Amino acid sequence: MNVRIVTLSLALLALAGAGPALAASCAHPETALGVSRVIEIDTSGGPIFGSATKREKEHDLLAENEVVLTFDDGPVPWVTTPILDTLDQYCTKATFFAVGEMAISHPAAMKDVIARGHTVGTHTWSHPNNLKRLTFDKAKDQIERGFAAVTLGAGTGIAPFFRFPGLNDSDELLAYLQSRGIASFTVDVISNDSFIGSPQSIADRTLKQVTARRGGILLFHDLKRPTAKALPAILAGLKAKGFKVVHMRAKTDIVPLATLDAELQPLLAKAPAAALVPFYGQIPPAVTVDGLAPAQTDIAPPARSRIPDADASQQASKKP
């Protein structure tokens, strides 16, 4: 893995005149969790990150007591928006794995995620819970249609980041993602917010698990109200326990298949007229708890061989 760490010093920020501007971007310094580090990922090798997989994966992205915040299944305005407000309050960033149908139905919410400086990846077109049980062509369509729809909903480029519904990956589909230069993300800490109705229980479970594991990629869903209600306690707990938030972004945007635009544009046109108003202003940068530019780590994991050689597999099957 090629790694380059770029750290901007306070002196350089002062010379550039960026210090005060960055500090001013955090409106709530008393609660700020901030972003301690940005990881920029070259996805051309089709890597997979996170512990919840049986496949060969990359080395851990994170150091001890670092976390990545991720949200699946949205956007849903009445849940996504309060989540975004809480992330703003704590001056921190997350990655949203959006579902294509949701993004194209709620384009204003999708644009809002982008506009507030978060990373957007995808979670298929319609969230079939076990993608590997579909035929390869149907699974591939779910992946590609998801990227095309979320890009249309966002109105701008999005990251080549993907998460399998139900975390049900396969070597065949990972090989396809690799052919498209798409990174896949599993998780390390599951909040279980899809099944827990109590915000306090969601917060307690998450903080207990992340403490035991000493960090990791955290999984939430911007689909249910208890998640939004639990998030302030979770972020306050992470801050109190000394955890640092790492923000992921991609080196380049995904290039959706142009052939899907003609099918998806009519669906986008059906979104409420008010939802088509674009966002307007400069995207706020990630900043540390002190309001400074975080260090950046660039990684470029090499491609892996995902599909076993057919002849080798046949030979192995013939052995007694």
* pLDDT score at 35: 96
31-40, 278-287, 299-308: least confidently modelled range: 278-287
CB 77 within 8 A of CB 271: no
Q: How many percent of the chain have pLDDT more than 70?
A: 85
User: Average pLDDT, stretch 123-139?
Assistant: 95
Close Cβ partners of 208 (under 8 Å, ≥ 6 residues apart):
none
CA–CA distance from 53 to each of 45, 121, 213 (Å)? 18, 19, 16
d(CA 224, CA 210): 21
Q: How many percent of the chain have pLDDT more than 90?
A: 75
State the residue range of the domain holding 146: 2-318
Please say if the pLDDT value at position 19 is more than 50: no
DSSP 232-272: HHHHHHHHHTT-EEEEEEESS-----GGGHHHHHHHHHTS-
Please say if the pLDDT value at position 243 is more than 70: yes
CA–CA distance from 252 to each of 116, 131, 146, 193, 304 (Å)? 19, 25, 18, 31, 20
Please say if the pLDDT value at position 235 is more than 90: yes
* pLDDT score at 273: 57
User: Average pLDDT, stretch 246-275?
Assistant: 88
- The tens digit of pLDDT for each residue in 69-126 reads 999 999 999 999 999 999 999 999 999 999 999 999 999 999 999 999 999 999 999 9
Domain total for the chain? 1
* pLDDT score at 29: 77
28-32, 132-136, 182-186, 231-235: least confidently modelled range: 28-32
Residue 154 token pair: 């966002």
* pLDDT score at 277: 47
* pLDDT score at 169: 95
* pLDDT score at 5: 34
Residue 223 token pair: 């689909």
User: Average pLDDT, stretch 259-271?
Assistant: 90
* pLDDT score at 298: 97
Q: Specify the CATH number for the domain of residue 244.
A: 3.20.20.370
Rounded to the nearest integer, the mean pLDDT of the chain is 87
Please say if the pLDDT value at position 15 is more than 50: no
pTM score over 0.85: yes
Please say if the pLDDT value at position 140 is more than 90: yes
Residue 267 token pair: 């669906």
Residue 203 token pair: 């917060």
Q: Which helix (H) or strand (E) holds 72?
A: strand 66-72
* pLDDT score at 23: 41
Residue 9 or 180, more confident: 180
d(CA 153, CA 119): 14
Q: How would residue 283 be classed by pLDDT, with cut points 50, 70 and 90?
A: confident
* pLDDT score at 188: 97
